[in-house]
Amino acid sequence: MGTFFELFLGNWYCWFKSFYSDYLSQYLWGYNPVSGAYDLELRYNTIGLYTLGISLLMVILYYYVIDHPRFCKWWSWLIVALVNSAIALFVGYYCVQSDYDAGKIPDELLYSRDENGEIIQYLISIPGECWSFGISNMFMAFLFFIILSFLLHWWSRVAKYSPFIKF
């Protein structure tokens, strides 16, 4: 399937896989039901890098642009983290919905068909699965925000101890 770094973000997303179906997860891993191999685009990495980039921008915004004594409290950090998570919710929704609209998700992962080609069952329910993946992306963004806060808060002039306790 790929190297460790190619699979890293996908493995993180699998922590929240209970929010959406296995069929959507197979698509996001790049599974091609025609060839039986994982030779399609690994969407977990693409969406994960978008989410990581947005989280990085929000951390930089909080610690280096806003960086004001009035906003160096835990609640202001939480507000920025929640805004970051809300943006990630819509990014996750949009990425899956746009792939569906563009026809990138293989039919074999979307529908179960009978011998006549009639749809028996929808395997991925759109837009419900889009929102469900968006929720898992929201949790990923919150994790990214926490990790990036630990890494980047030290060089802030005012908010270097926000939301963490000063030792």
> 84-126, pLDDT tens digit by residue?
999 999 999 999 999 999 999 998 999 888 888 888 999 988 9
Query: Phi and psi (nearest 5°) for 113?
Result: -120, 155
Q: What does pTM read for this prediction?
A: 0.89
- Are 51 and 12 in contact, with CB atoms under 8 Å apart? no
Q: Give tens-digit pLDDT for 14-49.
A: 898 889 999 999 999 999 999 999 999 999 999 999
Output the CA–CA distances (angstroms, integers) from residue 134 to 73, 98, 130, in the order listed.
28, 13, 6
- Are 106 and 33 in contact, with CB atoms under 8 Å apart? yes
Q: For residue 24, how many other CB atoms are within 10 A of its CB? A: 26
- Chain centroid to Cα 105, Å, comes to 18
